[in-house]
A = this chain, B = another copy of it.
Amino acid sequence: MHEFQRVLIANRGEIALRVLRALRTLEIESVAIYSDADASARPTIEADRAFRMPGVSPAETYLNGAQIVEIARRSDCDAVHPGYGFLSENSEFARLCRENSLTFIGPSPEALATSGNKLACKKLAEARGIPVVPYTPDPLEDANEAARFAEEIGFPVLLKSAFGGGGRGIKEVSSRDDIREAFESSRREAESAFGRSAVFVEKKLVRPRHIEVQILASQGSAEVVHLGERECSIQRRFQKLVELSPSPVVDAETRERIARHAITLAKAVEYSNAGTMEFLRDSDTGEFYFLEVNARLQVEHPVTELVNGIDLVASQIEVARHGKLPFRQKDVRPSGVAIECRINSEDPLSDFVPNTGRIEYLRLPAGPGVRVDTALYEGLEVTPYYDSLLAKLIAWGPSFEEARRRQLTALHEFKLVGVTTTIPLHREVMVTPSFVHGELSTSFLSDSGVLKRVSEEAQRSDPDRFAIAALILSKNQFREPTSPRLGVATAPRPPSFERGGRFIDGL
């Protein structure tokens, strides 16, 4: 049992702010770290103390475990919260924390090491009678080996990094011709993201649903509770875009079954703290296959929070400081449905290529059941150094239909100018008939034709907009500062409208 007086947040962006809020409500002091790109970020400014990590690359900053531990020691922190991504599933970092008498708010280094090894986890699951998708039991030496196994189980297959998550390093291969390039690309991405290039092959299910179980385990897995499932089938580039809880296809009996699997696995790896067991549901048979363990807080944790009325981050901190769970299974009483849309700085009409820029205008939505997790503000520079998540928009309602309508209303209220985002895509997803009927799969984006409708909507010929454009352009009402003096001495002056003046003649 440790009391925490001060906790270091080893992350950035919305999740750093999320952890900061949890610490405040627990009356624990917060210490932030910031890269040079994040010197004026919201968590940097709002934390009780903030320490600079020189540089902008992840390796120099948020992946620099030795320096983070040094800062935590220097600032008398009792614990470190790693958020998601970066060092959150790094067993070496967890070990370094332990060696320096810092509580790592997450699983033990040993549990992290096992959980992070996807192949080892699959074997553990198989040994306990939990179905898994066919896979190569050992990391592949070369592309030929990959090709051999793929032909054995039949294309399409997925090439996957044996370590790490977040969709990085995953490549779909539908024929032997493509396997060499995919193999190399997968290894490169895995090396760049996780520092480990081991890759394996897994059978690709056709149109599966991605369903995962949230668990919370006490120290050493003495007690493990589950908080129901999330469905995260709508993905792009093997990364989740829309998440909901509960899943429309999971009934009470199925929930009980997959939760039991999840708890069995948690105990098998002596898991502690919050974690997620991912499954794929075969669309033909309804069978669930264990996929992997996510040994951290997930990006999509808010949907579980809204449905259960439980603060998962505060619960993580409680487990870390007292070893015990702050509630029991019988206290978990889910109600209603929550849907999360990830607002990314990506262009859905250009294969989700990320983009950067300055947030010039921002208006966040609100209303009953609506929550926005974000560190955005007007004037923020979205840089290319970290991931493309700008905000998470989460809507809760008593039913799926009410949650969906609230999410749609909120998406129409959400205004963001400066980078191209996934907002227009989400607006179309929410009104796509298969989504409305809860018919989801990991092929949703390509099957539903939603991208085509996003493109049509962007081209929509709205007379009001043409009328406004005619007024602005023809009357030259638009004025930019005549002599923009650059440099530090003056603030940029916003453009403005003016009366009179002629842009072209005739009016």
Residues in A lying within 8 Å of B, measured CB to CB: 18, 21, 24-27, 46, 302, 305, 309-311, 333, 335-336, 363-364, 366-374, 377, 398, 402, 405-406, 409, 412-413, 479, 481, 488-491, 493-499
Contact = CB atoms under 8 A, between A and B. Distances in A.
Contacts of A305: 368
Contact of A21 (B363, B372, B409): B409
A373 B369 CA distance: 12
6 contacts: A21-B413, A302-B368, A305-B368, A311-B402, A366-B373, A368-B371
Nearest 3 A/B pairs, CB to CB: A491-B496, A25-B405, A24-B409
B493 A499 contact: no
Given A309-B336, A409-B24, A499 B489 contact: yes
Contacts of A377: 363
Give the number of times this chain occurs in the complex, counting copies: 2
A104 to B, nearest CB: 23
Contacts of A405: 24-27
Contact of A496 (B335, B413, B481, B490): B490
A368 B27 contact: no
Question: Which of A335, A373, A496 counts the most B-chain CB atoms under 10 A from its CB?
Answer: A496
Given A368-B311, A493-B493, A25 B402 contact: yes
A106 to B, nearest CB: 19
A365 B406 CA distance: 20
Contacts of A368: 21, 302, 305, 311, 371
Given A364-B364, A368-B302, A491 B495 contact: yes
A192 to B, nearest CB: 33
A277 B424 CA distance: 44
B488 A491 contact: no
Given A368-B305, A368-B311, A406 B25 contact: yes
A335 B332 CA distance: 12
A353 to B, nearest CB: 29
A311 B401 CA distance: 14
A409 B25 contact: yes
Nearest to A407: B25
Nearest to A477: B488
A53 to B, nearest CB: 23
A369 B333 CA distance: 16
Given A412-B24, A490-B479, A490-B496, A335 B309 contact: yes
Contacts of A373: 366
B491 A493 contact: yes
A234 to B, nearest CB: 21
A160 to B, nearest CB: 33
Contacts of A496: 489-491
Give the residue among A302, A364, A493, A495 with the most B Cβ atoms within 10 A.
Answer: A493
A402 B476 CA distance: 55
Contacts of A24: 405, 409, 412
Contacts of A491: 493-496
Which of A302, A373, A374, A490 neighbours the largest number of chain B CB atoms within 10 Å of its CB?
A490
Contacts of A409: 21, 24-25
B495 A488 contact: no
A413 B495 CA distance: 30
A498 B489 CA distance: 5
Given A363-B377, A366-B372, A499 B488 contact: yes
A211 B360 CA distance: 45
A363 B489 CA distance: 26
A309 B493 contact: no
A285 B493 CA distance: 64
A336 to B, nearest CB: 6
Contacts of A333: 335
B398 A309 contact: yes
A402 B21 CA distance: 12
Contacts of A488: 497-499
A478 to B, nearest CB: 11
Contacts of A363: 377
A59 to B, nearest CB: 31
Nearest to A489: B498
Nearest to A373: B366
Of A368, A412, A495, most buried by chain B (CB within 10 Å of CB) is A368
Nearest to A301: B368
A499 to B, nearest CB: 5
Contacts of A374: 366
A493 B368 CA distance: 37
A104 B489 CA distance: 58
Contacts of A26: 405
A21 B395 CA distance: 13
